Chain A
């Protein structure tokens, strides 16, 4: 992974409405809670910068942002 900038994704639980696009694209990183269907970041939440941007962009409720 040398040379690939890794960033941390964050889910805004207030905005998330449980569509599941993130879990579909990155099941290792995002997991929809079985009860609430709100997306939760599992593990360290690290993704290559380009991939994280794409996933944030694809979230229909714009609930995913990128931290460092």
Chain B
């Protein structure tokens, strides 16, 4: 057995050697985990197969993280991510309109002005912690603007979001009753008391918008009807939590690994400066390189087989995006950061299927706008130290990254 689940392994970076070794094994590897192991799906083609067959590989039967949840905890914490059709379809249609390519364009100028302000501050200070100064504030401010949440609360919500990440690492720094939490931790997303605070915040802003509707996403969530249904209070607060969390954490990670890559491989930055028509493929390469979410789990709804391995109904099946994105069957010289790749069918937004990342076009826009604003300023980044990584097997998180202005 090749271990890729112990979170501390990730402190030194992604274990690409281990994932590659699993990829090279015949069939799927059974990975022991706590009291209930999983099939490790590491090849690009197999990740696509699992993603595109939700009727076989369910998101709703079990949890979509590695660990199991008792039935009441699963219900209390269920989000759009942990749902199957028809519930998933209903939830997705409630919000999809806000995240279509056409509607995301509306936020481009807002994003550009936030990026400009953050970059000017970073340059004026001669560099510093890229995560704190640029990568974290940009996406949280954008998602809060879309939601209609006061941007002054960005720092608080970012702090909560950071605590949720801790919930994936097994290294909780908060006492159980932090933020006045009274809910058993097992009923809270990521088992974190910060989720209680996120719920409370979401409920308060939801009540405000119910009483005084505005043209924003929170108002839409609390008032929208789909097939005559409204979101239940539990659905709403989990939706709010997942939009804030996923809307900032993942893009922050992409922006951080992207900036580090351009600092490490200045030739690639020079290519982009010389030829901005490479922007589209550069954005995709940043996404492939970063792979912010390293895996998602499914649970087999029926007996099936994949890559010649028999899978029984109820088995856990885990798609390692971070491995699929380095699969040499798809990507030429996959360990190389190459902004001109045409083979950019990465699975950073999932391998297709109905759970395709809701924020994909938002993330792409944010990364593109940030790179464009960096180009406009002729900003050349230099790496001043190693990133401080989150000890997580789930998100490719970076807590801090010291970059300089070359």
Contacts and interface: CB of A to CB of B under 8 A. Distances in A.
A45 to B, nearest CB: 19
A24 B92 CA distance: 19
Given A18-B92, A20-B102, A62 B97 contact: no
Given A18-B100, A20-B101, A20-B361, A38 B356 contact: no
A17 B85 CA distance: 11
Interface residues of A, number: 16
A20 B356 CA distance: 11
A23 B102 CA distance: 8
A37 interface: yes
Interface in A27-68: 32, 34-38, 60-62
Interface residues of B, number: 17
Given A17-B96, A18-B96, A24 B101 contact: yes
A62 B99 CA distance: 18
B101 A23 contact: yes
Contacts of A35: 97
A62 B101 CA distance: 18
Binding site secondary structure of chain A: loop
Contacts of B350: 60
A20 to B, nearest CB: 4
A60 B101 contact: no
Interface string B65-85: 000000000000000000000
Interface in B352-393: 352-354, 356, 360-361
A23 B353 contact: no
A19 B356 contact: yes
A32 B100 CA distance: 8
A36 B350 CA distance: 23
Given A38-B93, A60-B356, A61-B354, A20 B52 contact: no
B147 to A, nearest CB: 17
Interface string B99-141: 1111000000000000000000000000000000000000000
B340 interface: no
20 contacts: A17-B92, A17-B96, A18-B92, A18-B96, A18-B97, A18-B100, A19-B360, A20-B99, A23-B101, A24-B101, A32-B97, A36-B93, A37-B93, A37-B97, A38-B93, A60-B353, A60-B354, A61-B356, A62-B352, A62-B353
Given A19-B356, A20-B99, A34-B97, 4 more contacts: A18-B97, A19-B360, A20-B101, A61-B353
Interface of B: 52, 89, 92-93, 96-97, 99-102, 350, 352-354, 356, 360-361
